[in-house]
Structure 1
């Protein structure tokens, strides 16, 4: 058993932290390209995409370590989320399941930052239950006609290409779902305006509608009916490597809390000298380290070609719930300053809150863990 970082992973972490730690923080929907292009220059937009298509070609461990560095260095977690959703929910399904022509056309654009990618599976009546998707895809000769509506499309307002999931067979349950690559400007595809969210506000999100949107059959990912499997493959990346960024965020928040406990004085002594404070910070550190071990174990197993279904679920659950607890504790520790918008602590909490919902709720992760226990 080895607990040292591979050189590739260590170098990626250090480089990303050093490059992003002075980036500005935004708390609104952004359409600017400057930071997006900077992410492309760092290789963040294609960390796990094969090199032949313009990516870095990293496996799970190195990709996760780079993402952790991104979450640690970059205080704008909405940007972090935007970049990693682009990579794991759009670029990776294309890299792993698209035909050669689609991969050659789309992936270099995504890795270079010229295009922004988005995923569209969620509907008003289909969140945790992907089998409830009602958007349809009907085969007509060498094309499909897509109809329906999607919501919570992260990067949607500015996306250039979408991975859209639609039902090709109403009678086949999860085997009736298929996935398609649809470029912006395709007739019948209409992208909605960005809507307001509690957290991750600098990652714009919207809905989209499909009205007889004609998509070539060659733009389908994988086989017809393989959509659920493609989505789960994307979730392997997202539930590990995207959540590694939350490890970085938690580390940054705990470090701020420790500095506050050392410097803030009340009743004639440092607040860190109070056992109630020091013990809570010790528990936060425990949560971060335990979540980190679970996450990198899952990544290590995935790099070995193992399914790691339960391990992924445990990692996602541990990281997301620790992220919320850490940020909530920080607000409490900082007191009045913790709820001031200009101090940044309340923003960390708002960015952590969605983590227990997206990529599968905590309850869904518990179901996966229980299934692995044959319960």
Structure 2
């Protein structure tokens, strides 16, 4: 299948091809997690600009807009067989670095961004808690302001990159029951007394992405590590999720393309009853459906990316893109496995896509929450004013 994206500039297309070749050559990995190997590949990704792509160049990034970033992540996902590693890089960039870019002071940007862009340091974003997943406005992690610092107490779960992180973006409640304005975002250095990281999870999918719980026990954080000011945590989180729900899911577009291309080749080579199975209508129609899902999801994601690049205040496009890509990834994974028969459940691209796609319907806000967000943006469920007599 032709990989050309006609909506991309020649410069972006050239960057995409370079990243694709680099990822195929240097970032494959084993699909599991080894700390030393993870760090080695992370530094290589940093040298290629993957870990800081959307950060302004004055802070060590490449200054890419959302469309170019989505293309970068799509090439990354297509070329890197370890989707977990690609996911970790994307989460670092969009959920951690972009909040510093958009809400940090000049001093905070100069302090943290260069090392995080270069690949020397790794960031993790902590918001999810055992009793606050979809209900992100009701966190139990507390931050108490004392003199020139804040004291954090509580814990986070399912924190991507936590086992290897040098820097944590942490959301905590500074005003109990304060709702949208009750949360505050902090940048917390690894090794800060009172911060502890649990054991890495053993996950079904995204195995190459290290994930763990993070605990805070009277963890003192300087006041100059507050991101965006006290009470701005929800705004920080909402902005980062627009980037994540759009650009991060470019990784899945790339993985889906790799599996669809491989499935087309398989259907043309695998013979049963004296003919290639691609000649059977049941097979060919399933392959066409796989391609339709991929191309439809791609259109949705790049529409959201163009809006994000323009600075649109749009909740609908990123939410729809997240739903479209994640659901397409699961369906394509199922079809790819089914078309391969028993070989589909063995280790390989089809089985890996299916495993790695399952979490995509959950992280960055579940698909059910995305539908709630779209419905709210459409005004559904609001009581309309009674007509005037």
Per the TM superposition, whether the score is higher than 0.5 is yes
Query: Residue 330 of structure 1 aligns with which residue?
Result: 336
Residues 125-274 of structure 1: pairs in structure 2 closer than 5 A: 125-274=131-280
**SS of equivalent to 2:51:** helix
Query: Residue 29 of structure 1 aligns with which residue?
Result: 33
2:189 and 2:150 map into 1 onto residues whose CA distance is 14
Query: Residue 19 of structure 1 aligns with which residue?
Result: 22
Contact 1:128 1:361 (C-alpha < 8 Å) held by counterparts: yes
- Structure 1 residue 7 corresponds to structure 2 residue 10: yes
Q: Return the offset for 1:170.
A: 0.5
Alignment size in residue pairs: 373
1:349 and 1:250 map into 2 onto residues whose CA distance is 10
- Structure 1 residue 317 corresponds to structure 2 residue 323: yes
Residue by residue, what CA displacement relative to the aligned partner does 1:285-330 show, whole Å, maximum 9, x if unpaired? Answer: 1111111111111111111111121011111100000011011111
Contact 1:9 1:63 (C-alpha < 8 Å) held by counterparts: no
Structure 1 segments of 4+ aligned residues over 2 angstroms from their partners: 22-25
Contact 2:329 2:353 (C-alpha < 8 Å) held by counterparts: no
Task: Please tell me the root mean square deviation across aligned C-alpha atoms, in Å.
Answer: 1.2
Q: Return the offset for 1:100.
A: 1.8
Stretch of structure 1 that moved more, 62-71 or 88-97: 88-97
Stretch of structure 1 that moved more, 302-311 or 113-122: 302-311
Query: Residue 361 of structure 2 aligns with which residue?
Result: 356
Q: Return the offset for 1:25.
A: 3.4
Contact 2:51 2:119 (C-alpha < 8 Å) held by counterparts: yes
**SS of equivalent to 1:130:** coil
**SS of equivalent to 2:176:** coil
1:292 and 1:144 map into 2 onto residues whose CA distance is 43
Residues 8-87 of structure 1: pairs in structure 2 closer than 5 A: 8-22=11-25, 23-32=27-36, 33-87=39-93
What 5-or-longer segments of structure 1 have no aligned partner? Answer: none
Contact 1:30 1:204 (C-alpha < 8 Å) held by counterparts: no
Q: Return the offset for 1:61.
A: 0.3
TM-score, normalised via structure 2 length? 0.94
